[in-house]
């Protein structure tokens, strides 16, 4: 494994069984770039990359330059671009500063996403485009319970549309990020493990465990399982195992909101 700390909060390495998550992240950026193209965002427009983490995928937005924002100064260290340590709910930019914004696997990490969405709309110029990617609650872990302790909220397509619409008067469309059969096989195997684990707690006493303790336990189990016996199929996953589409969005891995400021 690399020296980076592995947690459930952010993607930091493709090693030790984490390659599918890494490649899904790359594919989300690649899909966001295509959606910005389709929205007519200029090739030289600067894109604000909110919740950018270690920045391993922002090059997929090229040739558009990007500015990265994250709460963690350590995650931003060494990135070959302008970065800012900031909360997505209080962005350090003037109104109308950007033609485009992306937030890949970010808004689920704050308890009050409406504040973040208001900030996204504020820093966009009139007619600007935001692309938001977040796990589909209908296909991520369990639809009736948030398992990942780093997530405060998870959305389906309708819920994401309803959350974004009040802030983006120019219109909101929700599409999906879909995975190949071989990626879905890995997801199904992970879910089977999760179901066996949760079956040991039929009364859901886990709801009484403090969030911080859940994070520690989640990180330990996640890292141990993928280090101990990584599925050899995981190393075969590439960004080509994913695509953005408008088919049955309820079956998508991630829901993707394309938001236009009025």
Please, are residues 54 and 4 in contact by the beta-carbon 8 Å criterion? yes
pLDDT surpassing 60 at residue 1: no
Lowest mean pLDDT of 80-89, 129-138, 210-219, 246-255, name the range: 210-219
Phi, psi of 165 (to 5 degrees): -55, -40
Q: What is the CATH number of the domain that holds 60?
A: 3.40.50.150
Output the pLDDT for position 231: 81
Domain assignment of residue 8, yes or no: no
Domain assignment of residue 150, yes or no: yes
Domain assignment of residue 10, yes or no: no
pTM over 0.85: yes
Whole-angstrom Cα distance, residue 5 to residue 219?
10
Whole-angstrom Cα distance, residue 78 to residue 93?
22
Please, are residues 23 and 238 in contact by the beta-carbon 8 Å criterion? yes
Q: How many domains does the chain have?
A: 1
Please, are residues 105 and 134 in contact by the beta-carbon 8 Å criterion? yes
Please, are residues 111 and 153 in contact by the beta-carbon 8 Å criterion? yes
Domain assignment of residue 246, yes or no: yes
As a whole-number percent, the residues of the chain with pLDDT over 70 amount to 94
Domain assignment of residue 40, yes or no: yes
| Beta strand segments in the chain, E | 47-50, 66-70, 82-85, 98-104, 124-135, 172-179, 242-245, 254-260
Output the pLDDT for position 221: 82
pLDDT surpassing 60 at residue 147: yes
Report, in angstroms and rounded to the nearest whole number, the Rg of the chain calculated over CA atoms: 18
Output the pLDDT for position 25: 96
Domain assignment of residue 11, yes or no: no
Whole-angstrom Cα distance, residue 204 to residue 196?
13
End-to-end CA distance of the chain: 46
The parent domain of residue 72 ranges over 19-260
Output the pLDDT for position 66: 98
Read off the pLDDT of each residue in 122-133 and give the average, rounded to a whole number.
98
Domain assignment of residue 7, yes or no: no
Output the pLDDT for position 55: 95
* Per-residue pLDDT tens digits for 67-117: 999 999 999 999 999 999 999 999 999 999 999 999 999 999 999 999 999
Domain assignment of residue 14, yes or no: no
* Per-residue pLDDT tens digits for 26-75: 999 999 999 999 999 999 999 999 999 999 999 999 999 999 999 999 99
């Amino acid at each position: 494994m690399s020296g980076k700390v592995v947690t459930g909060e952010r993607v930091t390495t493709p090693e030790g069984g984490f390659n599918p998550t890494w490649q899904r992240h790359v594919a989300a950026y690649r899909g966001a770039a295509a959606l910005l193209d389709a929205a007519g965002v200029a090739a030289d427009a600067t894109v604000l990359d909110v919740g950018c983490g270690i920045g391993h995928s922002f090059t997929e937005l090229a040739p558009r330059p990007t500015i990265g924002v994250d709460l963690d100064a350590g995650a931003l260290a060494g990135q070959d671009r302008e970065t800012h340590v900031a909360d997505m709910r209080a962005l350090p930019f003037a109104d109308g500063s950007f033609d485009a914004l992306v937030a890949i696997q970010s808004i689920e990490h704050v308890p009050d996403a409406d504040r973040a969405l208001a900030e996204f709309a504020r820093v966009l110029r009139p007619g600007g485009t935001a692309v938001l990617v977040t796990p589909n609650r209908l296909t991520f872990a369990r639809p009736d319970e948030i398992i990942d302790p780093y997530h405060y909220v998870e959305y389906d397509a309708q819920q994401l549309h309803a959350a974004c619409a009040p802030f983006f008067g120019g219109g909101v469309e929700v599409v999906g990020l879909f995975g190949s059969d071989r990626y879905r096989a890995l997801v199904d195997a992970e879910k089977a493990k999760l179901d066996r684990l949760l079956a040991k707690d039929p009364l859901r006493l886990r709801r009484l465990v403090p969030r911080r303790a859940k994070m520690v336990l989640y990180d330990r189990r996640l890292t141990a399982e993928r280090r101990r016996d990584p599925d050899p199929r995981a190393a075969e996953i590439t960004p080509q195992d994913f695509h953005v589409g408008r088919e049955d969005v309820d079956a998508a891995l991630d829901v993707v909101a394309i938001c236009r400021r009025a």
